[in-house]
Amino acid sequence: MSNSTIPTTPQGKAADFLDERLSISKAIKSNISKVFPDHWSFMLGEVALYSFIILLLSGTYLTLFFKPSMVEVIYNGPYVPLKGVKMSEAFASTLHISFDVRGGLLMRQIHHWAALFFIGAMSIHMFRVFFTGAFRKPRELNWVIGTVLVLLGIVEGFMGYSLPDDLLSGTGLRITQGIIAAVPVVGTYVSFGLFGGEFPGQDVVSRFYTLHILLIPGLILALVGAHLMMVWYQKHTQWPGPGRTENNVVGYRLFPVYTAKAGGFFFVVLGLTTLISALVTINPVWMFGPYTPDQISAGSQPDWYMGFLDGAVRVMPNWEISAFGHTLSLNLIIPAIVLPGIMTTLLGLYPFVSVD
Amino acid sequence: MSEQSNLPATHGAHDNHGGEVDYATRDERGRYILPLEEHTPRITDIDPRAAKRAERQVAWLFTLGGACLAGGVAAYVAFDSRELISVPTIGRVSASNFWLGTLIGLGSFFIGAAAIHWARRLMPGEEAVDHRHPLRGDEQSRASAIEQFKRGAAESGFLSRPLVRRTMLGAMALFPLPLVVLLGDLGPSPKEKLRHTMWGDKRMTRIVNQGSGELVRPEDMAVGGLINAIPEGLERIQEETGTQNERAKSSIILVRMNPSEIKAQQGEGWDYEGILAYSKICTHVGCPISLYQQRTHALLCPCHQSTFDLSDAGRVVFGPAARHMPQLRLGVDAEGYLVALGDFAEPVGPSFWERG
């Protein structure tokens, strides 16, 4: 037995090198045969994870060409309808990515589609966890992390589609500014702080850029790590069935079956996202044109995951209170701040208030 | 493993650690537990020719994936970013985007499909069983943890030296303060900026047609007509400041109606022979409005459907907006150009706390 662990092959020597320094044999011994239960609904979280990886990769590519600047330039690229039009460098570089960089349009569309799949998969994954009761003890904390991840995903998506500085995204920012300004006491100051003065200013794209490519993805990455570690440590839930009890996990081993299945599934998700991005246009910013605060396209809509907020803002009665020299815009505070606050608080606390 | 799990499952499957899992017929809550189903061998488990066939299928999928990826690289070289092709049902699209995306997408998909096919047909098809270990620490660990924590707490003197404790808590409470204060220069103080537009800079400001760039004369406007307009000199201010801030406040719409149709205005005689000037920036959250129904004089915001009656002092007739659209007082100058006589009487655009 002991002879077999004296390395002779190059791989053996490499493993020995690592084991002498990091005791990897212990980690491998106790993890490599870990059993995971099998069910199609367990792939929803995987879709979210893989979409996030696709977002990191495609996003990194886009940063190589995107210029997060609101300095005005005159467009002189190959897209004829906008030749000679004044626009921000952010929008001009988005056009450059779309029309001059080979694969640039593909990467933009992969990034946008993957963002939609990311939030969509997280949402459906959350439904799965909710309706199967998988958030219950001992998994309450992971439910809370999941709630925060969905919220961060929505914020990250909103900031991302604000960056190209096209007519649609600028309209979204305009609405955001109006909602921020409605916040009592500090709203005007927060708005001036975010936009570097009055709307639209010159700063919001570069500020959102930093948040979009560094701070928020960093937080998401850290929380995804924690989320997966908890799944790993607490072991995956399983559907009831023959041989399945509260005290066991029945399924296939991490190595080799799940390594191949989950690894292969990443390529399937990547492949389908890429195919859809090649065949179905999304967010054709060149058709919207650059942002200017005195123009708008009829039927402006946010991406679907902001729809509940936009809808709430639409159906709210026009209540506004003006008294003692101050204005309280209930028509915005209630649907855009109080409502999502209550929704996410209830969502996050649900495992602690629900009864088995 | 395989010979053991071919035994009738009621005799017990084998878990990761080589121990017997005892399947009682009922669990601790009295519910029946069905034994793990006996593994049904797949055709690839018993027929070497079927296994060989599956092996070839996996190899073909990998080959196809690799070929598509190589094709993607070829497409990168072959197509200029500006070349267009006609694709049935999709239309004329970028050749580079279409071929890159289709080939890389298919390549990635086939690789994933190969790995999954490999796992499903050729890797172990029997389910394995893992124990779930209790997450709660055993009594000994818990006691030891508490004891060590108590020892450390006593050694630190945190409880026995209240002076240190209280000053530390006080200092730490102040710690976030500088971090917040340092954000002060994100933007200037709002002061009165939201209350003024450049219409108030001069006693009379000529009005420029936003589309044509020409100065507006009353005779340019037919009854029922609408013009999107800006103050003369706006372009220069935009050049100087490098922002669209002024445009976001001072854009207006001009409409002309029969003077007899005007029910009310925000000031006596603010129209000029039936020509009315209203802010274009919605008082709800600031979208620019120019959807106008000349029969009803209704101005509809495309963002959240707030509707204003321009024949009735810009009154809100529908939707979530709480305030009327601010009106400008019009006149003509010595040369017969339409002019605005001073600023709006109130802030334009969305409400804010200090608005009053």
Q: How far is A275 from chain B (nearest CA, A)?
A: 5
pLDDT at A287 over 60: yes
Residue A334 is classified by DSSP as: I
Sort out which chain B residues have CB atoms less than 8 A from A267's CB and list them. 65, 108-109, 111-112, 115
Do B113 and B206 belong together in one domain? Answer: no
Query: What pLDDT, on a 0 to 100 scale, did the predictor assign at position B105?
Result: 98
Of all residues in chain B, the one with the smallest CA distance to A198 is B245
CATH number at B229 reads 2.102.10.10
| Mean pLDDT of the A200-207 span | 96
* ω into A302 cis (within 30 of 0): no
pLDDT digit string, tens, across residues A235-255: 999 999 888 888 899 999 999
- The two tokens of residue B156 are 């630190």
Chain B: give the shortest CA distance to residue A50, in Å. Answer: 13
Question: Cβ of A252 and B37 within 8 Å?
Answer: no
Contact B319, A203 (CB under 8 A): no
Same domain, B239 and B336: yes
Chain A contact for B104 (CB, 8 A cutoff): yes
Distance CA A88, CA A202 (A): 9
pLDDT at B1 over 80: no
Whether pLDDT at B29 is above 90: no
Binned at pLDDT 50, 70 and 90, residue B37 comes out as: confident
Rama region for A175: left / alpha / beta (φ>0; ψ in -120 to 50; rest)? alpha
Cross-chain residue pair B210–A183, CB shorter than 8 Å? no
Residue B138: inside a domain = no
CB of B253 closer than 8 Å to CB of B259: no
Mean pLDDT score, A145-174: 96
Q: B100 vs A273: CB contact, 8 Å cut-off?
A: no
Q: What is the mean pLDDT of chain B?
A: 91
Q: For residue range B143-191, what is the model confidence (pLDDT) as tens digits? A: 999 999 999 999 999 999 999 999 999 999 999 999 999 999 999 999 9
pLDDT bin (cut points 50, 70, 90) of residue B30 is confident
Considering only CA atoms, which of B220, B218, B205 is closest in space to residue B250? Answer: B205
Q: How far is A323 from chain B (nearest CA, A)?
A: 7
pLDDT at B341: 97
Chain B residues 205-224 with a CB less than 8 Å from chain A: 210
- Read off the DSSP letter of residue A166: B
Q: Are A299 and A169 in contact (CB under 8 A)?
A: no
- Are B207 and B329 in the same domain? yes
| Contact between residue A302 and residue A130 where contact means Cβ atoms under 8 Å apart | no
**A267/B112 touch (CB, cutoff 8 Å), yes or no:** yes
User: Do B203 and B345 reside in the same domain of the chain?
Assistant: yes
pLDDT greater than 90 at residue B4: no
Concatenating the DSSP letter of every residue in A55-70 gives: HHHHHHHHHTT-----
Examine the pLDDT at B247 and tell me if it is beyond 70: yes
Q: Mind listing the pLDDT tens digit for each residue in B111-143?
A: 999 999 999 999 999 999 999 999 999 999 999
* The domain boundary residue, chosen from B60, B93, B121: B121
What is the pLDDT at residue B13? 45
What is the rounded CA–CA span in Å between residue B121 and residue B218? Answer: 81
Residue at a domain's end among B101, B121, B141:
B121
Sequence ranges of the domains in chain A: 1-31, 38-353
| Structure confidence at residue B36 (pLDDT) | 87
In the prediction, which pLDDT does B22 show? 53
- Give the model confidence (pLDDT) of A61-103 as tens digits: 999 999 999 999 999 999 999 999 999 999 999 999 999 999 9
Instruction: Using an 8 Å CB-CB cutoff, list chain A residues near B198.
Output: none
CB contact under 8 A, A250 and B104: no
Return the pLDDT at B161. Answer: 96
Q: Say whether the peptide bond before residue A200 is cis (omega within 30 degrees of 0).
A: yes
Residue B102 burial class via C-beta count within 10 angstroms: exposed 0-12, middle 13-18, buried 19 and up: buried
**Contacts of B305 by beta carbon, 8 Å cutoff, 6+ apart:** A314, B318, B319, B320
Tokens representing B157 are: 């003197």
**Inside any domain, residue B66:** yes
Contacts of B182 (CB under 8 A, 6+ apart): none
Residue B229 counted as domain residue:
yes
- The overall average pLDDT reported for chain A is 95
Length of chain A counted residue by residue: 356
In order of A16, B303, B345, B346, the CA distances from B196 in angstroms are 74, 24, 9, 8
* Best residue in A294, A330, A339 for a mutation probing chain B (most B CBs within 10 Å): A294
Number of A/B CB contacts below 8 angstroms equals: 324
Residue B337 placed within a domain: yes
pLDDT score of B297: 96
Task: Determine the pLDDT at residue B39.
Answer: 86
**Chain B CB contacts of A102 below 8 Å:** 76, 79-81, 96, 100
Check whether A260 has a pLDDT greater than 50: yes
CB contact under 8 A, A102 and B98: no
Binary contact (B280, A294; C-beta < 8 A): yes
The mean pLDDT value for A276-300 works out to 92
Which residues contact residue A315 at a Cβ distance below 8 angstroms, ignoring those fewer than 6 apart?
A335, B320
Q: Which residue has the higher pLDDT, B37 or A73?
A: A73
Residue B30 belongs to a domain: no
Please check whether residue B103 lies inside any domain of the structure: yes
**Residues linked to residue A135 through DSSP beta bridges, in sequence order:** none
Q: Shortest Cα distance from B54 to chain A (angstroms)?
A: 15
d(CA B22, CA B4): 15
Residue A142 has pLDDT above 60, yes or no: yes
Residue B331: inside a domain, yes or no? yes
Task: Give chain B's domain count.
Answer: 2
Q: Confirm or reject contact between B142 and chain A (CB < 8 A).
A: no
Query: Which of A5-19, A249-263, B26-40, B336-350 is predicted least confidently?
Result: B26-40
CA atoms within 13 A on the CB side of B50: 9
Domain boundaries, position B338: 193-355
Domain A38-353: CATH superfamily is: Cytochrome Bc1 Complex; Chain C (1.20.810.10)
Nearest by CB to residue A198, choosing from B113, B119, B245, is B245
Closest CA–CA distance from residue B267 to any residue of chain A (Å): 21
Distance (Å, whole) CA B125 – CA A252:
8
Helix axes A10-22, A24-31, angle to 10 degrees: 100
Q: Do B193 and A295 touch (CB under 8 A)?
A: no
**From start to end of B46-172, where are the E strands?**
84-87, 91-94, 128-131
With contacts defined as CB-CB under 8 Å, which chain B residues touch A320?
322-323, 351
Query: Best interface-test mutation with A: which of B21, B32, B198, B244 has the largest number of A CBs within 10 A?
Result: B244
Give me the residues paired with residue B300 across strands. B291, B307
Asked whether residue B251 carries a pLDDT value surpassing 90, the answer given is yes
Measured CA to CA, the distance from residue B147 to residue B141 in angstroms comes to: 10
Q: Using the 3D structure, point to which of B87, B106, B121 is the last residue of a domain.
A: B121
Residue B16 covered by a domain: no
Pair A93, A71: CB distance under 8 Å:
no
Listed residue (B279, B356, B286, B336) closest to B313, CA to CA: B279
- Whether residues B112 and B205 share a domain: the answer is no
| Band of pLDDT at residue B299, cut at 50, 70 and 90 | very high
SS3 A173: helix
Residues 310-349 of B with CB under 8 A from A: 316, 319-323, 349
